[in-house]
Amino acid sequence: MYDQPMLRDNALKGKTFIVTGGGTGLGRSMSKYLMELGASVVISSRKLDVLQKTADELQAETGGKALAVACDVRIYEEVEQMLQQAVDAFGQVDGLLNNAAGNFISPTERLSHRAFDTVVDIVLKGSYNCTLALGKYWIEKKISGTVLSITTTYAFTGSGYVVPSACGKAGVIALTRSLAVEWAKYGIRLNAIAPGPFPTEGAWSRLVPPGLEDDLDMKKKVPMGRVGHHQELANLAAYLMSDFSAYVNGEVIVIDGGEWLKGAGEMNVLEKVPDQLWDMMEKMRKK
């Protein structure tokens, strides 16, 4: 069931969305579903060849419209140009999906300050650049836009070995919650999704050291015993980008099969206690 599309046909007809990092991975999957629901999509990232290929494929697969625009989200002028290209092509932009990210694993003391900047700039600066450009445009044009940002659960907890990413993603949550209140008067909503493990080439090739695939088997960390399916994330994203979620504002929705709570709950380790031991303890208690 969770691998099936959720919203009704044409639920997003007439809408146009910008999806940063839309050429690959989760951005591609979410863009595809937005198009299946009738939206036009501007997919952007640094690599135009990747974007153009994805745009052609998505148009062939969905019959919808996808425009590929090269844009490094770290550079505000490029973000403004992307917005202008989107408006020129589709007349109006209704929503922004801040999905672009950069990440790698490393002991923090081994990082140069430039490495730290690189990740924080893509994740946080990229998100506020796009949000600011779209927000100014929506306020001026009196459009009730919506922003959805993809963050992570370690933005709540922190996490070693991905510290620049954790810092950047935590900032994205602060941006979301702050502007959800400040810009509500303009009819602009901001929400975020914190996904658990969803297989993508971009994330998994960078986050799992070679040879440790079995030890770091992501699904073992998830109480539901599996990784996420791209469609279930796309369903949630489409709902949050749509007017069906008009009263959801400033929310960060976790979709991780219970993964982060499993790591957090102090006594969850008791899952290792076998049934026989529970039986024995029960007998002793009843004696």
Among 100, 130, 188, 254, binds ligand NAP (CB under 6 A): 100
Partner whose footprint covers residue 47, from ligand NAP, ligand HXC, none (CB < 5 to 8 Å by kind): ligand NAP
Residues linked to residue 192 through DSSP beta bridges, in sequence order = 149, 252
State CA 279 to chain mean position distance.
44
Q: Is 112 in the site for ligand HXC (CB under 6 A)?
A: yes
Q: Is 202 in the site for ligand HXC (CB under 6 A)?
A: yes
203 contacts 34 by C-beta, under 8 angstroms? no
Partner whose footprint covers residue 96, from ligand HXC, ligand NAP, none (CB < 5 to 8 Å by kind): none
Query: The tokens of 276 are what?
Result: 């026989």
Q: Is 165 in the site for ligand HXC (CB under 6 A)?
A: yes
* 154 catalytic per annotation: yes
Partner whose footprint covers residue 93, from ligand HXC, ligand NAP, none (CB < 5 to 8 Å by kind): none
Interacting positions 141-160 with ligand NAP (CB under 6 A) = 150, 152
Q: Which residue's structure tokens are 């070679």?
A: 210
With b for 16 or more beta-carbon neighbours within 10 A and e for fewer, the 182-199 pattern comes to: ebeebebbbbbbbbbbbe
Q: Applying CB under 6 A, which part among 70-78, 87-95, 179-187, 262-270 lies near ligand NAP?
A: 70-78
Partner whose footprint covers residue 106, from ligand HXC, ligand NAP, none (CB < 5 to 8 Å by kind): ligand HXC
Looking at this protein, which amino acid is placed at residue 135?
A: G
The H or E element containing residue 273 is none
Partner whose footprint covers residue 150, from ligand HXC, ligand NAP, none (CB < 5 to 8 Å by kind): ligand NAP
CA distances from 100 to 18, 43, 149, 263, 287 (A): 11, 10, 9, 26, 60
* Alpha carbon distance 151, 26 (integer Å): 12
Q: Is 197 in the site for ligand NAP (CB under 6 A)?
A: yes
Q: Which member of 33, 128, 137, 154 is catalytic?
A: 154
Interacting positions 198-257 with ligand NAP (CB under 6 A) = 198, 200, 202-203
Query: The tokens of 222 are what?
Result: 């998830």
Nearest position to ligand HXC, beta carbon: 102
SS3 97: strand
Nearest-10 Cα torsion for 28, 30, 32, 35 = -140
By annotation, the residues acting in catalysis are 154
Chain residues in the site for ligand NAP (CB under 6 A): 20-21, 23-27, 45-47, 50, 72-74, 99-102, 122, 126, 150, 152, 195, 197-198, 200, 202-203
